[in-house]
C-alpha cells in the first residue's frame, strides 16, 4: 500500500545573537528545526512526511488545488497566517496572487485533512501575532481562535485528561501521559470532539480536538510537536509515535 503524503509547514526559526566579550562584540545567526521528534516518529510508517520550513513557506506553499491535492494531510505548526498569505509576488512586487489561506479551507471542504499544532505562532499566538482568528483556515478548524495572546504557560507541567479514550486517535495509548509545558487557549466549536484536555485545576483547556469540515477531517493539537512545550519525557514516550500515527490515520481515512 503506498504511503500517504503529509505536508508539515513551519517548525523552523532563525535566532540572531550579539556576543559581548569585554571591549569587543560580534553577532551570530543560528537556524533551528523544531520537528525532529515527529520526523523520527514517522520513519518507517505509512506516512511520507514533506517538511517545509517556515522561511520556505511564503514562496513554496502550494498555490493551486491540484498542487495541494497531491498531499493527503497538511500540518500547520508554529507558523503564522502571514507566511501563507504573503507570497513574494505580493510582498515584494505588489502583484496579485491566489489566497492560499482560502485555498486550504476549500481543499479541506473537498476532502483534505488539516491539523493545526500549537506554538508561539499558532492559533492566535504570542501577542496575537499568528493572526489565524477570523481567517478561512479557522473556519475549517474544529476550534475558534481567541482575540488575544492565547498562550498558557505551565512550567510545572500538566498531564492530559483523556475524555474520549476510545477515540481512534488515542485508543490503546495507556496513561498517564507525560507532561506538557504549555498550550494555546482555544474554544471548541459545537459538534467538535474534545478528546483530551488539561486537568480541571489547570483550567481544563482543550488539548486535542477533532472535527470535520465539508468532506474533510480536521484536528487541533494545542501543545507543541516537540520542545519547548512538549517535555523531554513526552517526546521520548512510547505513546508519542502512536499518537501521531493514529492522528494521521484518522485524519486521512475516508469519511
CA–CA gap between residue 239 and residue 253 (Å, rounded): 21
pLDDT of 47 over the 90 cut: yes
Cα dist. 163→4, 64, 217, 220, 240 in Å? 28, 38, 19, 15, 18
CA end-to-end span of the chain: 19
Residue 51 has a pLDDT of 97
Residue 175: the pLDDT is: 80
pLDDT at 1 over 90: no
- pLDDT tens-place string over residues 85-126: 999 999 999 999 999 999 999 999 999 999 999 999 999 999
Mean pLDDT of 58-71: 98
What are the tens digits of pLDDT across the range 194-245? 999 999 999 999 999 999 999 999 999 999 999 999 999 999 999 999 999 9
How many residues in the chain?
A: 255
Collapsing DSSP states into helix, strand and coil, what is residue 177? coil
CATH (domain of 149): 3.40.50.880
Question: pLDDT at residue 254 above 80?
Answer: no
Work out the number of other CB atoms within 10 angstroms of the CB of residue 190.
6
Average pLDDT estimate for 123-142: 98
Cα–Cα distance for residue pair 156/133, rounded to 1 Å: 29
What is the chain's percent helix, strand, coil content, to nearest 5? 25, 35, 40
* Number of domains comprising the chain: 1
Residues 175-203 have pLDDT tens digits of 899 999 999 999 999 999 999 999 999 99
Give the range of the structural domain holding residue 38, as residue numbers without chain letter: 4-252
Residue 255: band (very low, low, confident or very high) from pLDDT cuts 50, 70, 90: low
Q: Please, what is the Cα angle at 162 between 160 and 164, to 5 degrees?
A: 155
- Confidence (pLDDT) at 2: 82
Average per-residue pLDDT for the chain: 96
Amino acid at each position: 500500500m503506498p504511503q500517504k503524503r503529509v505536508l508539515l509547514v513551519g517548525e523552523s526559526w532563525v535566532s540572531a545573537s550579539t556576543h559581548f566579550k569585554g571591549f569587543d562584540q560580534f553577532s551570530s545567526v543560528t537556524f533551528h528545526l523544531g520537528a525532529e521528534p515527529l520526523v523520527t516518529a514517522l520513519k518507517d510508517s505509512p506516512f511520507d512526511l514533506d517538511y517545509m520550513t517556515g522561511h520556505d513557506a511564503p514562496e513554496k506553499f502550494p498555490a493551486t488545488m491540484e498542487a495541494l491535492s497531491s498531499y493527503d494531510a497538511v500540518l500547520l505548526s508554529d507558523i503564522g497566517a502571514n507566511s501563507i498569505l504573503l507570497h513574494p509576488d505580493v510582498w515584494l512586487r505588489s502583484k496579485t496572487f491566489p489566497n492560499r489561506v482560502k485555498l486550504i479551507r476549500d481543499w479541506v471542504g473537498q476532502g483534505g485533512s488539516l491539523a493545526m499544532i500549537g506554538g508561539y505562532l499558532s492559533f492566535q499566538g504570542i501577542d496575537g501575532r499568528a493572526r489565524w482568528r477570523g481567517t478561512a483556515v479557522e473556519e475549517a478548524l474544529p476550534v475558534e481562535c481567541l482575540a488575544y495572546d492565547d498562550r498558557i504557560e505551565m512550567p510545572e507541567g500538566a498531564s492530559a485528561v483523556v475524555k474520549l479514550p476510545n477515540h481512534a486517535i488515542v485508543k490503546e495509548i495507556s496513561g498517564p501521559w507525560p507532561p506538557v509545558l504549555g498550550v494555546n487557549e482555544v474554544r471548541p466549536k459545537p459538534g467538535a470532539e474534545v478528546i483530551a484536555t488539561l486537568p480541571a485545576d489547570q483550567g481544563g483547556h482543550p488539548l486535542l480536538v477533532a472535527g470535520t469540515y465539508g468532506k474533510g477531517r480536521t484536528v487541533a493539537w494545542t501543545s507543541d510537536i516537540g520542545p519547548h512545550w512538549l517535555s523531554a519525557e513526552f517526546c521520548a514516550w512510547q505513546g508519542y509515535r502512536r499518537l501521531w500515527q493514529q492522528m494521521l490515520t484518522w485524519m486521512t481515512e475516508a469519511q
